[in-house]
Amino acid sequence: MLLEIRNLHVSVEGKPILRGIDLAVDAGEVHAIMGPNGSGKSTLANVLAGREGYEVTEGEVLYKGRNLLEMAPEERAREGVFLAFQYPVEIPGVSNVYLLKAAVNAVRKHRGLPELDAMDFLKLVKEKIRLVRMDEQFLYRSVNEGFSGGEKKRNEVLQMTVLEPTLAILDETDSGLDIDALRIVSEGVNSLRSPERAFLVVTHYQRLLDYIVPDKVHVLAGGRIVRSGDRTLALELEKRGYGWVLEEAGLGAGAGPAA
Amino acid sequence: MSAQPQPRPDPAERLAAAFRERRARLPGAGLAWLEALREQALERFRAAGLPARGDEDWKYTDVRALARRLAPPAAGPGPVAEDAVRALAFEGLEAHRIVLVDGFLVPGLSALGALPEGVTVMGLAEALAREPQALAPWLRLPEGADGFTALNLAFMTDGVWLRVADGVALERPLQIVHLRSAAPEAGAHLRHVLTLGAGARATVIETHAATAEADVLDNLGCTVALAAGAALDHYVVRESGAGLCHVGRIDVRQEAGSRYVSHNVTLGGRLTRSAIQVELAGEGAETHLYGAYVVGGRQQVDNHTRIEHRTAGAVSRELYKGVLDGRARGAFTGRVVVHPGAQRTDAEQANHNLLLSEDAEADSRPQLEIYADDVKCSHGSTVGELDETSLFYLRSRGIDAELARSLLVYAFASDVLERMALEPVRVQLERRLTAVLLAGREAEGVI
Ligand SMILES: Nc1ncnc2c1ncn2[C@@H]1O[C@H](COP(=O)(O)OP(=O)(O)OP(=O)(O)O)[C@@H](O)[C@H]1O
Ligand SMILES: [Mg+2]
């Protein structure tokens, strides 16, 4: 099993947000996570990436059999965990190309590979940037600074395709994308799909799952996974909304975090 | 048996006695106007003393630390290895170079090269011997000079005189290297005079360094006079070790349509007190004051700037950025005065600070005084910490915490350096900045 989440409880500032998540993702799989606003999807994604400010009060997370929660964020990244942020961060003064180069070489160094020189690196990046159909000029701009919402999301996908992660977590990467961009982003993901890699795709829209066909779909509500199924679950949610799932799970229609 | 501590003589008396003992041997001795100036300056020093506690202008400078190091000048320069000078060259920069050690020009270390017609570069002592009358108008005790400036004028031993004639361009920059030898306990009291005629252009780079951890004080004065349409790019870079203290004051006077660009960078030194005063005296004059101070440990930097808009249609731009680590203190006081009648003044001023540790301190005092109505003025100041979200974003891409911090700090400070027109200076300072931040870590490839 690539990723195993067992009975994960997480609080933020003393407030319980995740209340017993169990999830197992095998290499080669794509899991979609859906659920109402505020149900804890980004919290889960951030905890997996190692963001500070989250207190794990119970449970464990194993990644490649190792205790993921003990690893520093950069170590997780070097071991192949990648989070595409719901809200990508603007970093004035640090160029996109520099960030990519530092990231690629950090990962390569960790794997015992020689660092890429400027030429090989640019060749690699230019190939990937064509894949996500971004203008090369974006490489020389500051990270996400002044990017439109959709450009930021594409930039996340660019980073992902350059870093070739083992476990990619996409937090609403489809939100704010136009129809063409949605297809391009999906192609980026699909180009990476392989028996060694897994994807955790957080989304509100079943439409994305037409392009990135998931093996499993989970509904996160009230800090728990209240229902899991195959891709037909997403279609059903699209038609009927969350009400019936929440009712069956004994949750009110509010569906946000536990009070 | 315990030795009775010697009562320390009052520093003012000690300095006055040294002055009396020394004045006949100071450069220009025998010139009546200069002797009168030196006497007047010493009188001012005795009357004003050093800034007292409670003096608003000196609130953020540890005057006592400076007073302890305040000393009369040495008799001459101490020994300095040529390597030390070479280390201060900017890679890829062809410059006319003058080296001053302990307050004295050292011809053997200098490399002036051929100067274009219409350009004079001379040591101040030499100039006082050869062309005293040409210098006389620029050597004056400023109104309300403080004790340090007064002492500088009383004791000045040397410095650099740059004169560029009307319409002449000094294409290669003039680099003035200030070094301290291991010779202890001497003060350096230097004065530079930079005068550019109408439409003249020049670039001056002052670098300050100490070859030894001497616990001493440099007391520097500089007069800049720009005639109509003249343009001076003026770099001041302090990279001294932990012992050296700097007090520096630059007085700039600008005539119509002239342009002064100052890059004031402090990356070292125990305590730096820098003051820049600009008089925008002619219509359409433009002044740009950029500053970066990146210090840690117990280092202190106190930057003062004062821009006087005395005429219509002048422009001033000011950006100072500070990065403070350890227990360092950084202060910025920037005053912009728009005098009556200075219509269409366009003034922008900003100071931003980044604190890297809980014990570091930044004090920011932007001050605007406006006595005209048709003006465009803005000012802003911030003191902040590294953004945790940005830090996490970088780390989530595999970049380790230390490098991520350095990158963010570098990004914060780099827009000040970006404004430097001289690429070799900019590139080297970017490297130095990164090295300071990474504290010995491999800096290659960070930029
Ligand atoms: N730093 C924080 N302080 C307080 N509450 C927080 C913090 N971070 C998250 N929360 C709360 O935790 C809950 C879950 O937030 P989270 O961002 O995980 O939801 P989500 O499922 O990703 O929602 P959306 O679909 O809107 O992106 C929300 O109620 C949110 O307000
Ligand atoms: Mg979310």
This model of the complex carries an ipTM of: 0.95
Task: Specify the ligand 1 atom closest to the Cα of A256.
Answer: 29
d(CA B66, CA B246): 9
Percent of chain A with pLDDT over 90: 82
The residue of chain A nearest to residue B401, with distances taken between CA atoms, is: A74
Of A97-111, A117-131, B46-60, B113-127, the poorest mean pLDDT is in B46-60
Residues in A touching B411 (Cβ below 8 Å): 91-94, 142
Question: What is the whole-number distance in angstroms between the Cα of residue A35 and the centre of ligand 2?
Answer: 10
Q: What is the DSSP letter of B116?
A: P
Is A93 close to B397, i.e. CB distance below 8 A? no
Write out pLDDT tens, residues A4-13.
999 999 999 9
Please report, for chain B, the start and end positions of each structural domain, with discontinuous segments joined by +.
Answer: 9-262, 283-385, 394-447
The type of residue at A141 is R
d(CA A223, CA A248): 15
Question: What is the whole-number distance in angstroms between the Cα of residue A142 and the centre of ligand 2?
Answer: 25
Is B399 close to A50, i.e. CB distance below 8 A? no
- Spell out the alpha helix ranges (H) of B210-346: none
The pTM of this model reads: 0.86
Please name the residues in contact with A130: beta carbons below 8 A apart, sequence gap of 6 or more: none
Average pLDDT over residues A169-198: 92
Helices B401-417 and B423-438 pack at an angle, to 10 degrees, of 150
The type of residue at B233 is D
Q: Which of B390, B397, B400, B419 to mutate to test the interface with A (most CBs of A within 10 A)?
A: B397
Token pair, residue A88, equals 């990508």
Reduced to 3 states (helix: H, G, I; strand: E, B; else coil), residue A98 is: helix
Residues in B touching A101 (Cβ below 8 Å): 445
Write out pLDDT tens, residues B349-382.
999 999 999 999 999 999 999 999 999 999 999 9
Whether residue B284 has pLDDT greater than 60? yes
Is B412 close to A72, i.e. CB distance below 8 A? no
Q: Report the DSSP pairing between strands A216-221 and A30-34.
A: parallel
- Stronger pLDDT, B79 or B194, i.e. the higher one: B194
Is A103 close to B395, i.e. CB distance below 8 A? no
Please name the residues in contact with B369: beta carbons below 8 A apart, sequence gap of 6 or more: B335, B336, B337, B338
Residues in B touching A50 (Cβ below 8 Å): 392, 395-396
Write out pLDDT tens, residues A44-100.
999 999 999 999 999 999 999 999 999 999 999 999 999 999 999 999 989 999 999
Whether residue B443 has pLDDT greater than 70? no
